[in-house]
């Protein structure tokens, strides 16, 4: 018997107009540091209604420059959710700061606001309050940002949204990335995410100083603006390095792809919603928990994550789907479980909801080009795995 075609859990949608946009840049004067980067930044700021945006070569580098711009350094704490990609926590370690985790909410799987409040109260007594909290909009659903913002006003931390899953999502009438409830929000344009630039990321903010700092840090900490220079220019070739920055720049080739993809963003997300609704209906009698989206959220549905009511069956179910050429995945292994993080001595028992989630979760295929036939094959295969 020949194997049925492979269905990934997520993949990009590239059309002719995307290819044409990239080819246009390849035929132009600038492959990088050209005008398309600006167009991409301006367009995404208009979409999100943020004042500034800083394109980077990944969301990971955007998180790094965001932390540096917010002043994170040795001795400081950054808190995030344990159910996330490692990059949400690693950005603290790059800055020499320390990481701690706040357990997740059992329904949204996002960082739990109640647990955050409790932990803040404890940390205040011990003088260990975080400088930055990183809410991660898991699967594309926004965290409860209004509540987190209120806590930030009481406890004085900065908010850096890891919106890598949530380009095109909405929360209480604002577009995720508007930074209405945060200092900075970052997006990822990795091919499995909502829109892609190959590799790429973006930091959104309404704070001019933060935008300028991030923009300098993504390009070696160098300035060519004589108003910002320490000395009188030696000549018109002159530039100054004022900070220790990096080369985290996005190319114009990537920005052209991103700009072309942005035109389709709302359509992509709408298609993800159609697929999600179809899954919701067809899976409702399965022994699983389907994703729940809060009423004040419009998810970008980056992932469709199911949880098995019987976690003992997760592994065999997962392996069965993979054997049937369905590219399921698990998002995520709690960050504190990784060998690198063992040096920090986290206790699994401190995060019961994250552990329960991790033991039962499977991300099933979800991307705009997934056809109903393919989706039905996923559902049938899942049925075979669970009901027999």
Q: Which is nearer to ligand PLP, 188 or 261 (CB)?
A: 188
Q: Which is nearer to ligand PLP, 162 or 324 (CB)?
A: 162
What residues between 75 and 104 interact with ligand PLP by CB under 6 A?
84-85, 87-88
Q: How far is the CB of 349 from ligand PLP (least distance, A)?
A: 24
Q: How far is the CB of 331 from ligand PLP (least distance, A)?
A: 8
Residue 58 engages ligand PLP in binding (rule: CB under 6 A): yes
Burial 31-47 (b: 16+ CB within 10 A, else e): eeebebbeebbebbbeb
Q: Exposed, middle or buried: residue 253 (CB in 10 Å: 0-12, 13-18, 19+)?
A: buried
Residue 188 engages ligand PLP in binding (rule: CB under 6 A): yes
Name every residue whose Cβ is closer than 8 Å to that of residue 20 and which is 6 or more positions away in sequence.
260
Q: Which is nearer to ligand PLP, 136 or 269 (CB)?
A: 136
Q: Which is nearer to ligand PLP, 303 or 385 (CB)?
A: 303
What distances in angstroms separate CA 344 from CA 72, 79, 337, one per listed residue? 19, 14, 10
Q: Which is nearer to ligand PLP, 58 or 108 (CB)?
A: 58
Q: How far is the CB of 105 from ligand PLP (least distance, A)?
A: 16
Q: Which of 131, 190, 213, 377 binds ligand PLP (CB under 6 A)?
A: 190
Residue 197 engages ligand PLP in binding (rule: CB under 6 A): no
Q: Which is nearer to ligand PLP, 337 or 383 (CB)?
A: 337
Residue 261 engages ligand PLP in binding (rule: CB under 6 A): no
Strands 77-80, 98-101: pairing kind? parallel
Q: Which is nearer to ligand PLP, 60 or 260 (CB)?
A: 60
What residues between 132 and 171 interact with ligand PLP by CB under 6 A?
136, 162, 164-165
Sheet of strand 361-364: strand arrangement: 288-289, 304-308, 361-364
DSSP structure string for 15-67: -HHHHHHHHHHHTSS-SBSSHHHHHHHHHHHHHHT-SEEEEES-HHHHHHHHH
Please report which helix (H) or strand (E) contains residue 79, including its range: strand 77-80
> Do 83 and 334 meet the contact criterion of CB atoms below 8 Å apart?
yes
Q: How far is the CB of 233 from ligand PLP (least distance, A)?
A: 36
Residue 201 engages ligand PLP in binding (rule: CB under 6 A): yes
> Do 140 and 162 meet the contact criterion of CB atoms below 8 Å apart?
no
By CB under 6 A, name the binding residues for ligand PLP: 58-60, 84-85, 87-88, 136, 162, 164-165, 188, 190, 201
């Amino acid at each position: 018997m020949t194997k049925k075609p492979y269905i990934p859990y997520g993949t990009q949608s590239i059309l002719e107009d995307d290819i044409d946009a990239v080819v246009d840049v390849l035929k132009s004067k600038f492959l990088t540091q050209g005008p398309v980067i600006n167009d991409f930044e301006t367009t995404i700021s208009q979409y999100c209604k943020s004042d500034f945006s800083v394109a980077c070569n990944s969301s990971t580098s955007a998180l790094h420059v965001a932390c540096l711009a917010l002043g994170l350094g040795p001795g400081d704490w950054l808190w995030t959710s344990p159910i996330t990609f490692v990059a949400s926590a690693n950005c603290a370690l790059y800055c020499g700061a320390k990481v701690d985790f706040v357990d997740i909410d059992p329904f949204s799987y996002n960082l739990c606001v109640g647990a955050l409040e409790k932990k803040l109260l404890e940390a205040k007594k011990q003088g260990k309050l975080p400088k930055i909290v990183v809410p991660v909009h898991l699967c594309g659903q926004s965290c409860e940002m209004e509540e987190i913002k209120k806590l930030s006003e009481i406890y004085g931390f900065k908010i850096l949204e890891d919106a890598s899953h949530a380009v095109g999502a909405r929360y209480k009438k604002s577009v995720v990335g508007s930074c209405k409830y945060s200092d900075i929000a970052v997006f990822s344009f990795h091919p499995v995410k909502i829109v892609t630039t190959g590799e790429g990321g973006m930091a959104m903010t309404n704070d001019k100083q933060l935008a300028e700092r991030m923009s300098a840090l993504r390009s070696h900490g160098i300035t060519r603006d004589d108003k910002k220079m320490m000395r009188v220019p030696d000549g018109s070739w002159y530039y100054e390095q004022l900070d220790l920055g990096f080369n985290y720049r996005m190319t114009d080739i990537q920005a052209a792809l991103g700009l072309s993809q942005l035109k389709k963003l709302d359509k992509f997300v709408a298609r993800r919603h159609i697929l999600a609704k179809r899954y919701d209906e067809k899976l409702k009698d399965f022994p699983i928990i389907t994703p729940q989206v809060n009423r004040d959220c419009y998810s970008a549905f980056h992932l469709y994550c199911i949880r098995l009511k019987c976690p003992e069956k997760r592994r065999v179910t997962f392996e069965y789907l993979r054997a049937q050429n369905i590219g399921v995945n698990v998002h995520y292994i709690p960050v504190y479980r990784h060998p690198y993080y063992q040096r920090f001595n986290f206790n699994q028992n401190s995060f019961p909801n994250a552990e329960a989630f991790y033991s039962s979760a499977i991300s099933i295929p979800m991307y705009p080009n997934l056809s109903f036939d393919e989706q039905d094959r996923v559902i049938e295969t899942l049925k075979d795995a669970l009901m027999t």
